[in-house]
Structure 1
Amino acid sequence: MTTGAQQVLTDGFGRVGPVLRAALDGTDAAARTWRPAPRANTLAWLAWHVARGQDSQVAPLAGVEQLWTADGWADRFGLPFDHDATGYGQSPDEVALVDAPVDLLLGYLDAVTAQTLAYLERIEDDELDTVVDTSWDPPVTLGVRLVSILDDCVQHAGQAAYLRGLLPQDVAPA
């Protein structure tokens, strides 16, 4: 039986993909790697980071291996980073190294989203109060961690949508 919390979290995580899909629609490498300023993120990096961050944080909560390594996404992307890299704290030079075809970026995101939604189907509302990280004060509960992950995904998807609108005519899809 789906609970209210499951419905809200499922709805939230389910909104990220369509935003990124619209931001990436029809883009080529020039559009995906364009930056409005030298230290800004790119569409490709934002899409990769959303999926990578969600995968790296939800998988341990769900008790499963990250899809990045388990399903060979790391090899398919071929990025010059350690397999545990998620984009967090990367330099502008590292951000510039991220590009992949739209179908690869969205394929990884879709796989990660499916794994997240499958996990959300298994949790009960009372589990959301379970402490999952005692290194913070107050300690972080499962519910707070899931909202934090979702918040990061939504913020970065919104940044991608905004960045798509900033694309100059010479790189924007027709």
Structure 2
Amino acid sequence: MQSKELLLEAFDRLPGLVRQVLQGLGDADLQHRPAGNGNSIGWLIWHTGRVEDAQVASAAGLEQVWTAQGFVSRFGLPLAGKDTGYGHSSAQVDAVKAPGDLLQEYYEAVHRQTANVLAGIGDPDLDRVVDRHWDPPVTLGVRLVSILGDCLQHVGQAAYAKGLHAGTADTRGA
């Protein structure tokens, strides 16, 4: 197995995990914040897509799917166009409201761009420096592993939040 095949295998797991989290959730479920101040499921899935989109696009020299495919206007969030959710306040987390089908559609579009980028790389590309703001500078390979780790954590957090919410839902009469 080549490195790009391994990376594709890992990233290819994310759309299904996102789909599992979003399945069966309504708008109120997506906005529910564990303990009243935790990140909502909707925010976590949106942020997962935004992080992957922004970082893969930057590393590959591409425009983000968010802007290139019009998702920024379709979501219509009261946030800056390039906002990824990093460092969001509680009010900003509350401001991220979107239906599950739009969240899924955006994440799948991001994933397609990521898969196209990964399909076009070879092992030597993984050593290319993509960010000199760190010491040592960050290579494409390190960045991709970092993106994957972040995305898996956020989708896992969303799945956990879904389980917490389901565990507190009123099931009388069910």
Q: Which of the five TM-score ranges fits, normalised by the shorter chain?
A: over 0.9
Written as runs of structure 1 = structure 2, the 5 A alignment for 1:8-157 is 8-157=6-155
1:57 Cα shift? 0.7
Cα distance in structure 1, aligned partners of 2:91 and 2:74: 21
Cα distance in structure 2, aligned partners of 1:145 and 1:59: 12
Calculate percent identity across the aligned residue pairs. Answer: 51
- Please, what TM-score do these two structures have when normalized by structure 1? 0.93
- Equivalent position amino acid for 2:132 in 1: T
1:170 Cα shift? 3.7
- Equivalent position amino acid for 1:63 in 2: G
Cα distance in structure 2, aligned partners of 1:140 and 1:59: 15
1:160 Cα shift? 0.7
Cα distance in structure 2, aligned partners of 1:170 and 1:74: 35
1:80 Cα shift? 0.2
Cα distance in structure 1, aligned partners of 2:115 and 2:94: 31
1:38 Cα shift? 3.0
Q: Stretches of 4+ moved more than 2 A in 1? A: none
Superposed CA deviations along residues 102-160 of structure 1, whole A, max 9, x for unmatched, are 11000000000000000000011111011111211111111001111111101001101
- Please, what TM-score do these two structures have when normalized by structure 2? 0.93
Which residue of 2 is the match for residue 7 of structure 1? 5
Superposed CA deviations along residues 39-96 of structure 1, whole A, max 9, x for unmatched, are 3100000010010111111112222111111110000000000101000000111101
Q: Which moved more, 1:34-43 or 1:151-160?
A: 34-43
Structure 2 residue 169 is matched with structure 1 residue 169: yes
Gaps of 5+ in 1: none
Contact conserved, 1:52 with 1:86, CA < 8 A, in 2? yes
